[in-house]
Structure 1
Amino acid sequence: MFLDIHALHTLPYSNVNRDGLGSPKSCIYGGVQRIRVSSQSWKRAARLQVESQIGSPTLRTRQIAATVAKQLVEQENWGTDDARRAGRAIVQAYGLTPEDADDITKVLLWLPYTVLDELATLAIEHRDLIRTLSLPELDEKGKSKRLSKDEKDKRDEAARAAVALLKEPVTRILNERNATIALLGRMLADTPDHTVDGATEVAHAFTVHEAAPDFDYFTAVDDLAPNSGAGHLATAEFATGTFYRYSTINVTQFDEQLADHETARQVIAAWVRTFLTVVPSGKKNSTAANTAPDLVYIAVRNSPLSLAAGFEKPISTSGFGYLDRAVDVLNDYTTRLHRFLGDDGLWSGYAGTIDTKLPALGDPHESLDKLVQHSCDAVFGTLPVEASS
């Protein structure tokens, strides 16, 4: 069973998600340029808030070895060398190779914060073993000694053999997941059992109309300069637009992963509301683009269904804005799509700032909170009881 989330969300002059050159991200759709906000950007903004709300933070890092070492030094009064040996041993036991100079790994690990305490406890339990381990050799300049690939491979293999006793507990700890990891999923090719198949899919948001970045020329005044000239000149890019946003949650999968009906419901409710109301933080101090969606449509279905194709033809305007027309297009396309498929889902409802009746979108709700509550009632009132056992 899937919970489909659709929204029409207008952003004012802003740049909430930049590309490598600092421009608003964009795409070509329907033969014209649209402004785009990546799924990763909106997911991260929502995830951080949800984790704060449910009290279950995570960290995504390449510095797990250094982080564990720092905790051992600061909280357990370990010496820096032994603490570093411990951090490197944990990474090596997991099958990864820390860099000689700074102990970072080539891949990002995404973990619940609680694993840091577990890893530190594990290191304390195996301190005698850890003390026997070697650290990377340094040359006369204090830098890591250069080794051939063959020498490095042999050294790394010997290191992994030395920490073989730690492999099972380290793997168990680093493969732990919390609710947001189960919800969004994680992938690590080097360690497949670290991978979690996420229950949520999030589409890139795009404007329902043609849109292009606008250049803003700005200056900064040097208050101590003897004249009134600018101390800094530059340009920045911004854009405006009404975006179609879509996400879907495989509620059955998520419920089974958590094995806790009530927690699954709470997390999904928190995620849906936060995902809809949060805005990515790019250029937030200079644009304050803190808007909410004007229309939210939620549907419970046996299979997910995006409505993005309804906006393949860009909406045009004659000075009356895009939102009202986008609302009509969404309702009309949903009507035609449901008729074509012969499937209008198991339940649906909508809420927003608009007064228009939208029969294709199900029951109207006076607030977002009530819409989210009723959508969760629809889902968890029909999930089989055994899904949470």
Structure 2
Amino acid sequence: MAVSISQPKLKIKEKSSQKPKDLFSSLSWSRRVKGKELMLFTSQMSLMLETGNPLNRALGVMVPQIQNPYFKEIIEKILEQIESGQLFSEALGKYTKVFSPLFISMIRAGESGGLLKQMMKQLADYYRQREEYISAIRKALTYPIILMAFSILVVFFVIAYVFPKLAIFLEGKEALLPWSTRLLMGLSHLLKNYWYLIFLGLAALAFGIRALGKNQKAVAFFERQQMNIPIVNRMLIQFYTSHFLSTLGFLMSAGVPLLDGLLITRSLVRNALYRNFIQELIESVEKGKGFSPPFRKQSFLPAAVKEMIQTGEETGSLNQVIIRLGEHYSQEFRKGMESFCAILEPVIIIFMGVLVGIIVLSIIIPIFRLSSGAH
């Protein structure tokens, strides 16, 4: 049975007016709470509530265990507000930079239906599964990233330290040098004499990327272009489809109404294409046209998703279908990521071998030619 949430309008964004107590907690890098910290918090809170502890006692026990000063300060203030008579969800709503709309809505649903400890357990499961998901992605990408970083360091070392010394020995003998040696010597000269311009260029590039990241039209354009890249587009569709459906299914299984669940999910999905799609779903549900019609219009969605969503809506099993689809595409994404990284690793190794080979030949060939010419 769905738990109704009595509220005039679901608020997705609120700004906290809380001020830090000390210098450390005011630092921008410290004013964040990691997903792992939320996972531990919800897991321990779930255990405290299940063992019969009242909410304020559970929070009071949690405070000394929290290592993050910023997070600890927030929980302390939430505890003060609860003891002064505020609802838990109202207190959480003042810290939307830490607690997502999903978190707040789950707690609100638990308060409305007297199911707070069950909702906290579901949140603990959600954050645990999310952390396992993120950990799997990081694990798959770690080795390829290390290989790429090592390749870049090798090239930088040769250009910055080896070729400047070699250039003195090869000065005036450019005609005998192969193109690869001349290219690396040119890069070495550029790095040595115009390093500040390179630094300024990289800084300008970083600033430009950051500025574009704040431009919604630019972000939407690049996200659309990502969907046109072979292999990558399939993985992105699997990732965003699983994120969208898993989040919505999780909310609906907790008793959050469909429309509120869509509003919350839209605020959590970063891809503009999917946000626009979710907005179409919201409008369709508000107008009474149903949930499935907007699915049929989307060319990027797999045909199986469209058919199963329509069947689920017609048979009254939409929630179960959404959850199963979310789990399916989550598994498909993980398998795809593992396969992609398995292919990427030998490609990077081959690239490194070719790169190192070119560098070695660029050093040996001119030395060999000069020594042969001397005889």
Q: Provide the TM-score with structure 1 as the length reference.
A: 0.28
State the structure with more CA Rg.
Answer: 2
Q: Judging by fraction of residues, say which structure has more helix.
A: 2
Q: Judging by fraction of residues, say which structure has more strand.
A: 1
